[in-house]
Chain A
């Protein structure tokens, strides 16, 4: 396992913000870097627990693979689904070009 490091770098903060599609100013990079370092420092306490023989819990429920009949059911009309869209054309969401 890679050792988690509490010395998160500014570059990593920028990378993570980019992955999360989150615009961030240079001042915020420094602020979040310091705050996240501090949080990660506390989170490292996780390593105090011996989990070498412990399975991971991905979900708390016993029920698995809930199925329903493959039958058409009423669903939201397109107009209702589109009503909150900032920008639309006919029955489509309208977006900007992915590249300029």
Chain B
């Protein structure tokens, strides 16, 4: 076993015991990036010098045994939507090519304060809009489990990096499933915290009432550790919650005995692959054997979550992306005769097809004459979805279902059909609209490709989602399965 195969928890112990140095560990991960990076294309930028500098600083800290934190010396990848001061950050878009942020995101500052090591910026769908990473303005990412397959999206680069040994852990962002779905498709753990749990300051915005940053890791313990490092109130994000952050490790091992877990039949959607359904039903049975009582519940408005999302998210995006005008930062088109023409050309040349589609969809939904029929109706449906969850959580402690209705699909399979692509997120979107938290944990392989079990818990009950996911993980070996790219190096 090489160092890059290990988890944060193991490595933390080894670093503490001075069995290894952060520089050795970082070099091991950088070597793996060198070895497989041109096959996964997981990174847009590898910050090798920064990483080694941070690793040296972490080793100093470990040597002096002063303020050693769980992330001290751990090499982590950051989705390219997260701003790192003076490090190129593009959100996967050509319109931000060459942009170097003058400040860092709060999550980045918190990890820096813990002494983490930044490996680089991971590839993603442009402005986090997509479910396959094929909307990257630069290049698609390949799934380490099958290089002809997508890694999911939009945090596909972060997922592929963790699944191929090109990072010990990563941060992603989730607006409609963008952490959980790629985690499921690459066989790792992905957690979408409750809106407000993690500061969004310095996250390049997609849909501001839905976006959340969260951990993508090899196992549930690491997920808890990384969430612990980034969660909590931030005065620079007025939507971040002042609620205290619990100690996630303290309750992780408490098990599911006596817990009531709900299974919404609506989540077994039409078009779900039989092998995925089988995996999920087996996983539910396993949690029952662990002492949970399984109850059927109904979330009756699940079928309108996807349409509501595809109004609300594009509407917010069309407003957020108005800032890319070629004036203050990023790409500026040449040859325009006046300012309006410069805006039009800059945005025409700088944005990719999916981003343009969503800007137009959002602009249309907000435009005069259509606002009530689309946007207002979608916001009312959002209330119904929130109420669905509230009602369900009076009967059960948490909900179980698949993360994605399918395993990783071949590159190019859905690029011509936007609606088919949108359907990938059909079971992840409700958690964003309903403002609850959810985690995807590996629950098996179907035809050699990973399947993810989704555990949804009430708002600000990440402790519960993690505890259930951990009970499942502790009883299974699925999270230990390694992608061929990672396993080959063992």
Chain A interface residues toward B at CB < 8 A: 1-4, 8, 12-13, 16-17, 19-24, 28, 32, 35-36, 38-40, 42-49, 51, 54-61, 63, 66, 68, 76, 80-81, 83-87, 93, 95-100
Given contact pairs A2-B372, A23-B345, A96-B336, enumerate 20 new A-B contacts (beta carbons under 8 Å): A8-B364, A12-B364, A20-B360, A32-B356, A32-B357, A35-B418, A36-B361, A40-B361, A43-B307, A45-B307, A54-B380, A56-B376, A57-B380, A57-B383, A58-B379, A63-B242, A81-B102, A96-B339, A98-B338, A100-B337
B307 CB contacts on chain A under 8 angstroms: 42-46
Q: Are B373 and A32 in contact (CB under 8 A)?
A: no
Interface positions, chain B 289-341, Cβ under 8 Å from A, are 301, 303-304, 306-308, 310-311, 318, 322, 325-332, 336-340
Q: Which of A19, A23, A45, A83 contacts B304 (CB 8 A)?
A: A45
Min CB distance A10 to B, Å, is 12
A86 CB contacts on chain B under 8 angstroms: 326-327, 329-332
Q: Which of B100, B328, B336, B373 contacts A2 (CB 8 A)?
A: B373
Task: State A63–B386 Cα separation when bound (angstroms).
Answer: 16
Q: Tell me whether B437 is interfacial, beta carbon within 8 Å.
A: no
Task: State A13–B125 Cα separation when bound (angstroms).
Answer: 24
In this complex, the member of A16, A57, A96, A98 whose beta carbon has the largest number of chain B beta carbons within 10 angstroms is A57
Min CB distance A39 to B, Å, is 6
Q: Are B343 and A46 in contact (CB under 8 A)?
A: no
Q: Are B303 and A83 in contact (CB under 8 A)?
A: no
In this complex, the member of B98, B238, B307, B367 whose beta carbon has the largest number of chain A beta carbons within 10 angstroms is B307
B359 CB contacts on chain A under 8 angstroms: 20, 22
Q: Tell me whether B377 is interfacial, beta carbon within 8 Å.
A: yes
When A and B form their complex, what is the total count of cross-chain residue pairs whose Cβ atoms lie within 8 Å? 179
Q: Are A99 and B332 in contact (CB under 8 A)?
A: no
Q: Mark B360-388, 1 if CB is under 8 A from A, else 0.
A: 11011001011011101111111110100
Min CB distance A24 to B, Å, is 7
Q: Tell me whether B347 is interfacial, beta carbon within 8 Å.
A: yes
Can you give 21 A-B contacts (C-beta < 8 A)? Answer: A8-B364, A12-B364, A20-B360, A21-B347, A22-B344, A23-B345, A23-B347, A32-B356, A40-B361, A46-B307, A49-B377, A51-B383, A54-B384, A56-B380, A61-B196, A81-B102, A85-B327, A93-B328, A96-B337, A96-B339, A100-B337
Task: State A30–B419 Cα separation when bound (angstroms).
Answer: 17
Chain B interface residues toward A at CB < 8 A: 98-100, 102-103, 195-196, 209, 235, 238-239, 241-242, 301, 303-304, 306-308, 310-311, 318, 322, 325-332, 336-340, 342-345, 347-349, 351, 356-357, 359-361, 363-364, 367, 369-370, 372-374, 376-384, 386, 418-419, 422, 435
B325 CB contacts on chain A under 8 angstroms: 21
Task: State A76–B103 Cα separation when bound (angstroms).
Answer: 8
Q: Which of B329, B338, B419 contacts A42 (CB 8 A)?
A: B419
Q: Are B339 and A95 in contact (CB under 8 A)?
A: yes
Task: State A86–B318 Cα separation when bound (angstroms).
Answer: 23
A23 CB contacts on chain B under 8 angstroms: 344-345, 347-349
Task: State A91–B345 Cα separation when bound (angstroms).
Answer: 25
B348 CB contacts on chain A under 8 angstroms: 22-24
Q: Are B381 and A55 in contact (CB under 8 A)?
A: no
- Chain A residue with minimal CB distance to B373? A4
Task: State A3–B308 Cα separation when bound (angstroms).
Answer: 17
Q: Which of A4, A20, A56, A85 contacts B374 (CB 8 A)?
A: A4
Q: Are B339 and A97 in contact (CB under 8 A)?
A: yes
Closest 6 A/B residue pairs (Cβ): A23-B348, A84-B329, A56-B379, A51-B380, A86-B332, A66-B238
B344 CB contacts on chain A under 8 angstroms: 21-23
Given the known A-B contacts A22-B359, A22-B360, A43-B374, are A60 and B238 also in contact in the complex, defined by CB atoms under 8 Å?
no
Q: Are B238 and A84 in contact (CB under 8 A)?
A: no
Q: Are B363 and A4 in contact (CB under 8 A)?
A: no
Q: Are A46 and B378 in contact (CB under 8 A)?
A: yes
A54 CB contacts on chain B under 8 angstroms: 380, 383-384
Q: Are A59 and B311 in contact (CB under 8 A)?
A: no
B361 CB contacts on chain A under 8 angstroms: 36, 39-40
Q: Are A61 and B195 in contact (CB under 8 A)?
A: yes
Given the known A-B contacts A51-B377, A63-B242, A76-B102, are A20 and B363 also in contact in the complex, defined by CB atoms under 8 Å?
yes
In this complex, the member of B303, B383, B422 whose beta carbon has the largest number of chain A beta carbons within 10 angstroms is B383
Q: Are A36 and B360 in contact (CB under 8 A)?
A: yes
A59 CB contacts on chain B under 8 angstroms: 209, 239
Min CB distance A52 to B, Å, is 9
B376 CB contacts on chain A under 8 angstroms: 56
Min CB distance B313 to A, Å, is 12
Task: State A80–B379 Cα separation when bound (angstroms).
Answer: 38
Min CB distance A87 to B, Å, is 7
Q: Which of A32, A45, A96 contacts B342 (CB 8 A)?
A: A96
Given the known A-B contacts A35-B357, A46-B378, A56-B379, are A19 and B367 also in contact in the complex, defined by CB atoms under 8 Å?
yes
Task: State A86–B345 Cα separation when bound (angstroms).
Answer: 15
Q: Are A16 and B364 in contact (CB under 8 A)?
A: yes
Q: Are B100 and A83 in contact (CB under 8 A)?
A: yes
Q: Are A47 and B377 in contact (CB under 8 A)?
A: yes
- Chain A residue with minimal CB distance to B365? A43
